[in-house]
A and B are shown apart, each in its own frame.
Chain A
């Protein structure tokens, strides 16, 4: 599985955009980039995923570079409830299609 690198922690002011980077320089052509987040004491929550094109949904936007070696998750207007650990995952086409989590980025949204 392609390995991902994320900063261990980030701060963001409430109401501002939160931009969370992820490096995945060894990604293969058929591997998807997934983002999950985990709020304290809860299970991981799916946010968004993409293969090549930028994606947007009601929660966030995902920007994937043209060479696919890095991506950025954008929360357009961060709220205090967005404080969580954010995991960037490259999902391989192995038999179980399981998600392999790294350490993630702890995002702290401050008033």
Chain B
């Protein structure tokens, strides 16, 4: 138990379909981050929330991607019209503001687009 629950753990979808992932922190944290990790690479930042507000988006987050955190607790990441290049592990992390605090990552959702 990492303190962050991500569902589903695995998702296989056909190209062109929409998918949605969910991140549920077990405890309250004001910051929530989404990362993407492709095979053999380190995680790459996608976006983050301060409470309900989405404050920064990476250039990796195309207009097919949308993320929400409606009540400042759980978050969803939706990918519309999936492409094979979207195949990756999608990781959620929670933390507090400031440099002197680490993040806690979930186990991720592995997406395979066929």
- A residues near B (Cβ < 8 Å) are 30-32, 34, 36, 41-46, 49, 51, 85, 87, 91-93, 95-104
Known: A46-B102, A96-B55. 16 other contacts (CB 8 A): A30-B99, A32-B100, A43-B4, A43-B106, A43-B107, A44-B105, A49-B100, A92-B99, A95-B55, A96-B33, A96-B56, A97-B98, A99-B43, A100-B45, A101-B42, A104-B42
Chain B 1-37 interface 0/1 with A at a Cβ cutoff of 8 Å (1 = within): 0101000000000000000000000000001010000
**Interface residues on chain B, size class:** 20 to 34
Least distance between B67 CB and chain A CB atoms (Å): 14
Label chain A's interface by main secondary structure: loop
B48 on the interface (CB 8 Å rule)?
yes
B112 on the interface (CB 8 Å rule)?
no
